[in-house]
Amino acid sequence: MKRSKYILFLTLLGFCFGCSLTRTLDEGQYMVYENNLSGIEKSNQEELTNLIEQEPNTRFLGTSIGVLIYRFGESFYDSAKVVQELQTVNQELAEVRLQIDTVSTNLRLRKKEDKLKTKAEALQDKLEYGNALMKTGNPLVILDSGLIEKTYRNMQGYLVNHGFFDSKVKYSVETKKQKATVTYQITENKPYLIDSIYTRSDNPEILKLLNQYSRNTLIKQGEIYNQDHIAAERNRLEELLKNNGFYMFSKSYVNYLAYQDTSAKTIRLEQVIQKPTFTDKHEVYTIDSINFQINPPSDEFADRRVKTDFNGIDFSFYRDRYSAKILASRVRIQKGAPYSRTQAIETQRLLNNLDLFRFVNITFDTLGTSLTANILTQPNQKFQLTNQLGMTITEQLPGPFFSTALRNRNFFRAGEILEFNFRAGLEGVASATGQGVYQSSELNTSVSVIFPRFLIPFSPGTLQRFGRYNPNTRVTFGYLNTSRPEYKRNAINGLLSYTWSTQNNRQSFTVNAADISYIRTPFIQNEFLTILNDLQNNGNNLIWSFLPSLISSFSGQTIINFNRYGDFNAKRASLLRLFGESGGTTLNLVNAKSNNEPGIEYANFQWLKGQIDFRRYYPVNEKQTFAYRLNFGMASPYGVSAGILPYEKYFFAGGGTSIRAWQARRLGPGSSVPQTGEGGEYAYTNEQPAEMILESMLEYRRKLIGYFDMALFIDAGNSWMIGRDAARPGADFRYDRFYKEIAVGTGIGLRMDFDFLVIRLDLATKAVDPAKPEGSRWVLDNIDFRRPFGVRGQTVFNFGIGYPF
């Protein structure tokens, strides 16, 4: 095995060195091999680096995979042939358009025109960017003196705009064997600091407002002069004044005069609010009236308008199909109040969230300093059918799924949405009885009614009071059928939930006031039943989770989105999810039998559950990102549960979105030892439910070429039982040893990012295995690539859709 590894390594090394990057260059041409920046002390090196116009190709072992792919595609790319094809298609397209001019109603000609137009666009794209392989790869970056000069000017301008007025930039180019190293030498000298800031305006109202919010200014005394801060401050002042009635104000009225003291290296900044050109001073505008108009499908229905007014808003509907009370609760613009741009945008967002309209436009008519707000909308289609066909990946091997959803908008004419959902899917899961990978199927159907308000008895004023928070009440009834190799499980579910969000949409809340399920397991495989009975004989009553049961719970969660998590253009973003659940709470009101009592036919469950999930995204530059996740959860049964949770309420560690070096649901708990297969290897055949989970994941993500990205990751964590588990020694959580039971896995991943879809391939290997005896838990040196797909293997392959977190 070791010999074959060395042969493979040497072969790869020889291949890489044999593919010289410079072999196709003409005399006098040089590839950009490296860029160096020196002399940077106080300025931002990352931002200066991003100004370099020519970045070297990404290399590995002296070569670039991107260049190799590009050259391979270029070897059978004939641009002359593409030009000829494009000319032929354009000529044919012109002839078809001439025929359409004479026979405009011919559908066959219209279809042919669309087909030829699409083909011409594809050929034009191929002519500009090459074939598919060339677009996936990267051409060799060849030294261009014009781009070096442009980089020099960019850096010089950047330094001046960031307070380094006396800075100097020089560059030099060293060449060796057709490889060029470009060095940019920066001499910053002493930066200029903001000495003082003075605001000048003839309008006392504006001066009073600016002084009131002066603590929010982005230009700070004593800081280095920064043109970016000045631009941001102009935007802040425009937003502040527009939100306080100054409808006609814009940032173009904010100018800055900088007085430079060359001896003290300071800047005295004067902020000037200029007068408007159309009047003597900037005026505060007040909302005089609000018109809300829902347009009919066409002008033929104009005579079917219904007019009404509510809460100071004049409504004009197409027929009497909408609730003025519901719509008014989403309108944040107030009659008699000063104009606010934020309230206008918030109104547009809240009305769009109702999912009743194709569009929402808000315009303002002026008369003196009075405004008439016009909210113009058009109804969305009454019925919407959505079908989806794709792949589902939750455990081991992906499988197909089909889903369909039918929406009936404005069902009760008060903004409600009636929704039918159906989903059927297959996937491959590892059998809990150790008999390989089996097909698992799932059938799920539900009907829901979504009310755009809180349904709270005896609280008539909630609609207007909470409309700004986009409240929704969802009532759902559903049926779920799960068929796995070991068991078949049916569930009937009823749910009453409330959702709302903060005005800035950064924090959302969900409260499941009633979540009730009746669960049956009509079939249990004999082998799996034997496992459950063996566990019970050893003190683990997991078998109770498969008895018929009526499960009820009350739960709530909040998601706090800091700095737009998920927006990969944002600088540093994070997300925090908090979840809490009380299960079987209603059983406290009745005399329910304990699961330990003899002759019980229906299992009863009571539990408390909580979870904290934190995710952080930190971009280093445009191509490199660090991301990490911390996840902690506990679930504790009590009362009649006899120490058992419903199976779906347990925590499971391992899998594509957890500790990736272990198969899904196969890690832990604690230092308990899995079953042993042939050859004394761990089999990891059984799922390992637990009552506590602690896991963390750290990823380094880097863009490679085209659609391809890579990731290096380290995962650490485990799951535990809170109390003693006689069937799994070492499964219980103990403060004096839990840190020794942290499993660690590491690996490399490949992502194909198509914007609308991310396909993820992760190859992970165990580094620390807590199931091994103490002193033998470091297992990274036992890496074995012979069985990357096996349940028992040291190395595990994960396939997924989307990022792991």
pLDDT in tens, 284-326: 999 999 999 988 766 555 556 788 888 889 998 877 678 889 9
Specify the range with the lowest mean pLDDT, choosing from 382-391, 486-495, 591-600: 591-600
Q: Which of 196, 213, 200, 198 is nearest to 273 (CA)?
A: 200
Q: Residue 627 has what pLDDT?
A: 92
- Please compute the mean of the pLDDT values over residues 457-477 and round it to a whole number: 84
> Is 163 found in the same domain as 48?
yes
State whether residue 215 is helix, strand or coil: helix
The overall longest dimension of the chain from CA atoms, in Å, is: 94
Q: Is the peptide bond before 646 cis (omega within 30 degrees of 0)?
A: no
Q: Is residue 400 part of a domain?
A: no
Q: Is residue 796 part of a domain?
A: yes
Give CA–CA dist 273/221, Å, rounded: 20
Q: What are all long-range contacts of 214-222, with beta carbons under 8 Å and residues at least 24 apart?
A: 219/194, 219/269, 220/194, 221/194, 221/195, 221/196, 221/197, 222/193, 222/194
10 Å Cβ neighbour count for 757?
10
Token representation of residue 575: 């997300």
For 321, the domain range is 286-379
Q: Is the predicted pLDDT of residue 388 greater than 80, yes or no?
A: no
Q: CB of 732 within 8 A of CB of 683?
A: no
Q: Which of 77, 89, 80, 81 is nearest to 118 (CA)?
A: 89
Q: CB of 474 within 8 A of CB of 454?
A: no
> Is 200 found in the same domain as 180?
no
Q: Residue 210 has what pLDDT?
A: 92
Q: CB of 487 within 8 A of CB of 521?
A: yes
> Is 767 found in the same domain as 688?
yes
DSSP one-letter string for 548-566? -EEEEEEEEEEEEEET-TT
Q: Is the predicted pLDDT of residue 2 greater than 50, yes or no?
A: no
Q: Is residue 785 part of a domain?
A: yes
Q: Is the predicted pLDDT of residue 568 greater than 90, yes or no?
A: no
Q: Residue 392 has what pLDDT?
A: 62
Q: Residue 791 has what pLDDT?
A: 43
Phi/psi of residue 74, nearest 5 degrees: -70, -25
pTM (2 d.p.): 0.77
Q: Is residue 719 part of a domain?
A: yes
Residue 508's alpha-carbon distances to 495, 576, 626, in angstroms, are 19, 11, 26
Give CA–CA dist 185/753, Å, rounded: 37
Q: Which residues contact 82 (CB under 8 A, 6 or more apart)?
A: 123, 126, 127
Q: What is the pLDDT of residues 389-436, one digit of tens each?
A: 766 655 556 677 788 999 998 888 888 999 999 998 877 665 555 555
Helix residue ranges per DSSP H, 400-525: 462-466
> Is 746 found in the same domain as 656?
yes
Q: Residue 406 has what pLDDT?
A: 92
pLDDT band (50, 70, 90) for residue 645? confident
Radius of gyration of the chain measured on its C-alpha atoms: 33
* Total domains present in the chain: 5
Return the higher-pLDDT residue of 130 and 742: 742
> Is 147 found in the same domain as 58?
yes
The percentage of the chain sitting over the pLDDT mark of 90, rounded to a whole number, equals 37
List the 254-261 sheet strands across, edge first: 193-200, 266-273, 254-261
Q: Is residue 482 part of a domain?
A: no
Q: CB of 758 within 8 A of CB of 751?
A: yes
Q: What is the pLDDT of residues 79-88, one digit of tens each?
A: 888 889 888 9
> Is 51 found in the same domain as 120?
no
Q: Which residues contact 526 (CB under 8 A, 6 or more apart)?
A: none
List the 313-318 sheet strands across, edge first: 305-310, 313-318, 286-294, 370-379, 357-367
Q: What is the pLDDT of residues 691-700, one digit of tens each?
A: 999 999 999 9
Q: Is residue 662 part of a domain?
A: yes
Q: Is the predicted pLDDT of residue 689 greater than 50, yes or no?
A: yes
Specify the range with the lowest mean pLDDT, choosing from 29-38, 590-599, 675-684: 590-599
Over the range 518-544, which residues count as b (16 or more CB within 10 Å of their CB) and which as e? ebebeebbeebbebbeebeeeebbbbb
DSSP one-letter string for 622-689? SSEEEEEEEEEEEEEE-GGGTT---GGGSB-B-STTS-TTS-TT-B-STTPPPPB-GGG-B---S---
Q: Which residues contact 586 (CB under 8 A, 6 or more apart)?
A: 552
Q: Is residue 594 part of a domain?
A: no
10 Å Cβ neighbour count for 346?
20
pLDDT band (50, 70, 90) for residue 614? very high
- Where are the extended beta strands (E) located within 126-217? 168-176, 179-187, 193-200
Q: Is residue 778 part of a domain?
A: yes
Q: Residue 594 has what pLDDT?
A: 65
Q: What is the pLDDT of residues 68-105, one digit of tens each?
A: 888 888 888 888 888 898 889 888 888 888 887 777 66
> Is 359 found in the same domain as 243?
no
Token representation of residue 107: 């559908």
DSSP one-letter string for 562-617? ET-TT-TTSSSEEEEEEEEEEESGGGGGTTPPPTTSTT--SB---EEEEEEEEEEE
Q: Residue 187 has what pLDDT?
A: 93
Return the higher-pLDDT residue of 547 and 44: 44
Q: Which residues contact 746 (CB under 8 A, 6 or more apart)?
A: 661, 712, 713, 714, 715, 764, 765, 767, 780
CATH number for the domain that contains residue 170: 3.10.20.310
Give CA–CA dist 341/333, Å, rounded: 9
Give CA–CA dist 130/143, Å, rounded: 21
> Is 170 found in the same domain as 295?
no
Q: Is the predicted pLDDT of residue 677 greater than 70, yes or no?
A: no
CATH number for the domain that contains residue 781: 2.40.160.50
Q: Is the predicted pLDDT of residue 8 greater than 60, yes or no?
A: no
Token representation of residue 93: 């397209």
pLDDT band (50, 70, 90) for residue 4? very low
Which of 211, 240, 273 is where one domain is finished? 273
Q: CB of 691 within 8 A of CB of 681?
A: no
Q: Is the predicted pLDDT of residue 545 greater than 90, yes or no?
A: no
Give CA–CA dist 675/511, Å, rounded: 41
Q: CB of 49 within 8 A of CB of 95?
A: no
> Is 266 found in the same domain as 324?
no
* H/E stretch holding 47: helix 45-49
> Is 145 found in the same domain as 220?
no
Token representation of residue 545: 């989770």
> Is 297 found in the same domain as 234?
no
- Please compute the mean of the pLDDT values over residues 703-720 and round it to a whole number: 87
Which of 327, 358, 379 is where one domain is finished? 379
SS3 track for 276-318: CCCCCCCCCCEEEEEEEEECCCCHHHHHHEEEEEECCEEEEEE
> Is 299 found in the same domain as 252?
no
Which of 335, 350, 379 is where one domain is finished? 379
